[in-house]
Structure 1
């Protein structure tokens, strides 16, 4: 259970100290219009201690405050630059994170509410604005470094400056392609789902049940707990079929059955504000039978055989027959390693089924059909192709260019962000409590702001008491 608590603390900012009253809250810093509370810093410190299971040095608070100030500076600038985070995005993130925690509890809502001492709705409300701030900070940071590029010459120079004895040693790595197929429900199952939705629509229109009640009792996604409410959103946030139907409704109107990649929906338009709409939906998903999976398995196996006899290339098969909602589809089937962001996997990074499938394969060979779960939990089928394999080696520019390029870009982005922060400090109101001004990292904030102000900036920086 402690692991579950740690997960919640990592996914959603905690307010344990503020709730328990062990810390009397006070403002310890201000960045523009944003404040840093003592409780925020103490929460971060307590969480870090719980994860390391040992006492941290006092200087750890200095580093944490420095990072918090960076976040507040980015959040303040996001408001000045009108960086938008919609209610719908926040709601979707909250639902996803709560659902992930519930999955660790076997989906037991009562266990969740007993453990955290409040309802799921109350938990979401408590952390809604913290999550909105986090999303805005991430978006602002990405915006700052978005245009940073590196040239081949910069990559070469970056690599040449690494001392020979400091070059990283890479374990054996592989590149793997995948051809993914999503089994589909048969016609009779899909027809039964659409019929059920039509029955629900008729009952709602007849006043036998409200839309919200029907969503709570029937909808297959996390919005069911809120009566199907998806919050306010603008164009471009929903898949095309859903959005077209939603924007064609009048307030209070309920759509006919709408099919999307997620299943079948009834959509109710709750309100319209300019180009923004608030909608609720009921989602039903047709069950995939064993016969459906077997039919898709046979189809995928036949495609794999055609690749093996060179009837067409793996890349062509991905584009012609592959499921286009997986990440690899737009990269000719090549899988990306979420840990590194590139296409190289150490053996330990691979899904165990993929590892055992490629363990004794030769380059360009194709595996047998495997079942797996997609990012949203959908049952999928795939065959994989071993596309390259390296031996353990010390980094070289020719063999590891993509990794060195990423490292070069990351270093350049970090320097660019650091320069941006230094510039913004000089034009942003900064005030930091005396207790933290002796921190080396915090001194840098104060010195930079004073330096720029004395040099003739707009003089609106406040430091000190």
Structure 2
């Protein structure tokens, strides 16, 4: 929920900024070709203040500016290193975030537009470049620390340096595996969807309805709100069946019905630039009936029985029979905790259905078949395996090696990133308004950068009328 509220506030700031008539702003810092505005700093300060009940100290602005400078340095370097964030990635992220907000609003588009004072399309346009920058920054940061590794000796030394009375106390935790299958729609349901798309295609070609209207009223994904537009993208970003059909279209041509793992599509080619294309689509997904679900339940239950009688291992069953569209598939079925990034779950981190399913299981035992929904809302089935359980305890190297290893790696990555920043600052053009040069966190930028600006009056800019 906290991440959701943060996203709401970020979008709200963008929305409010758009509604101001005349905005007087100031450039307070520059890193390479990237600028930081006073309004950026104040909006981030307001956001941080909204997340605490205590007043933030004045020096909080210094820390926020320092983090903004780091972000701009990484973004500037991402451009120099030609790190690419394509339109399709940005659009996917935007749709996911908008969909999440809408889900909290019960899918009420009018409520969304009343809250932000503008349409969903306008909100996405306003937020698009900020999101593109954040994705580039994240990718650049990951690139910088990618080669950082830790040895067992480093883990041991890191743990030994923690004062005994400062060792963390861990609550009871579990590791859980899952074997997931995706129920398949029956043939008659699939045929009905294909027929529906064929009829829509005929209506579009006969000019009875536009492609955009058909997508808005019928398409099952977030692109529907934009008339099915998926933006510009390069080869290799779509699934194989979709991409093969899209690249074989002539400009303005509409494909026949195309099947992919996501459902059935009509695809229209809207533009082509070298190896990049812009396409729109209409996606329909066959409804999964209760009979379809029951058939998959019996199938999954039979696999679980074979694991229980040692016909094959859980890991083998995941690779042989499980869906490869879930994160756990590439980790032998072991689930990762999104809150911590590791495979350990406290009780409060587990989905309630999973918790109750494993509550009385023995280690390595399997649950009954459970129904759940994928992040995209699709019905899925799984059996879960309790793979380990710990009692509440003070951290030890033997029992918590994986966590201590992660902490060691994170500390080493942070130090590596700090060293990288210090070196990069010395070769990067940096300007900082004199008002912020008193900040202790800003000293490295002042001492090591190629240029320092004094006085902020020349940085004033005016936007709007």
TM-score, with length taken from structure 2: 0.94
TM-fit CA distance, 1:463: 4.1
TM-fit CA distance, 1:14: 3.2
Structure 2 runs not aligned, ≥5 long: 456-465
Are the counterparts in 2 of residues 18 and 39 from structure 1 also a CA contact under 8 Å? Answer: no
Are the counterparts in 2 of residues 363 and 389 from structure 1 also a CA contact under 8 Å? Answer: yes
Structure 1: distance between partners of 2:205 and 2:383: 47
Matched, 1:167 2:167: yes
Question: For 1:107-126, what per-residue CA distance to the aligned partner results, in whole angstroms no more than 9, with x for missing partners?
Answer: 11111111211111111111
Q: Which residue of 1 aligns with 2:244?
A: 244
Q: Which residue of 1 aligns with 2:360?
A: 360
Q: Which residue of 2 aligns with 1:153?
A: 153
Query: Which structure's relative contact order is higher, taking Cα pairs within 8 Å and 6+ residues apart?
Result: 2
Structure 1 runs not aligned, ≥5 long: 450-459
Are the counterparts in 2 of residues 32 and 429 from structure 1 also a CA contact under 8 Å? Answer: yes
Q: Which residue of 2 aligns with 1:185?
A: 185
The change in CA–CA distance for 1:396 and 1:101 in structure 2 (over 3 A counts) is: same
Question: For 1:325-365, what per-residue CA distance to the aligned partner results, in whole angstroms no more than 9, with x for missing partners?
Answer: 01111111111111111111112211111111111111111
Q: Which residue of 2 aligns with 1:38?
A: 38
The change in CA–CA distance for 1:266 and 1:12 in structure 2 (over 3 A counts) is: farther
Structure 1: distance between partners of 2:388 and 2:6: 38
Structure 1: distance between partners of 2:147 and 2:2: 41
Q: Which residue of 1 aligns with 2:439?
A: 439
Structure 1: distance between partners of 2:134 and 2:308: 48
The change in CA–CA distance for 1:382 and 1:254 in structure 2 (over 3 A counts) is: same
Are the counterparts in 2 of residues 11 and 97 from structure 1 also a CA contact under 8 Å? Answer: no
TM-fit CA distance, 1:24: 3.0
Are the counterparts in 1 of residues 15 and 123 from structure 2 also a CA contact under 8 Å? Answer: no
Structure 2: distance between partners of 1:211 and 1:20: 36
Are the counterparts in 2 of residues 15 and 43 from structure 1 also a CA contact under 8 Å? Answer: no
Matched, 1:461 2:451: yes
TM-fit CA distance, 1:228: 0.5
Are the counterparts in 2 of residues 12 and 127 from structure 1 also a CA contact under 8 Å? Answer: no
The number of residues matched between the two structures is 455
Structure 1: distance between partners of 2:413 and 2:271: 42
Are the counterparts in 2 of residues 23 and 39 from structure 1 also a CA contact under 8 Å? Answer: no
TM-fit CA distance, 1:22: 9.7
Are the counterparts in 1 of residues 221 and 283 from structure 2 also a CA contact under 8 Å? Answer: yes
The change in CA–CA distance for 1:144 and 1:277 in structure 2 (over 3 A counts) is: same
Partner of 1:311: helix, strand, or coil?
Answer: coil
Q: Which residue of 2 aligns with 1:196?
A: 196
Q: Which residue of 2 aligns with 1:103?
A: 103
Q: CA RMSD in A?
A: 1.9
Q: How does 1:3-152 map to 2 (within 5 A)?
A: 6-10=6-10, 14=14, 16=16, 19-20=19-20, 24-152=24-152
Structure 2: distance between partners of 1:109 and 1:352: 30
Structure 1: distance between partners of 2:356 and 2:305: 20
Question: For 1:363-420, what per-residue CA distance to the aligned partner results, in whole angstroms no more than 9, with x for missing partners?
Answer: 1111111111112111111111111111222222222111111111111110111011
Structure 1: distance between partners of 2:41 and 2:403: 35
Partner of 1:153: helix, strand, or coil?
Answer: helix
The change in CA–CA distance for 1:167 and 1:6 in structure 2 (over 3 A counts) is: closer
TM-fit CA distance, 1:57: 0.9
TM-fit CA distance, 1:142: 1.0
Q: Which residue of 1 aligns with 2:407?
A: 407
Q: Which residue of 1 aligns with 2:397?
A: 397
Structure 1: distance between partners of 2:11 and 2:288: 32
Q: Which residue of 1 aligns with 2:426?
A: 426
Q: Which residue of 1 aligns with 2:458?
A: none
TM-fit CA distance, 1:205: 2.2
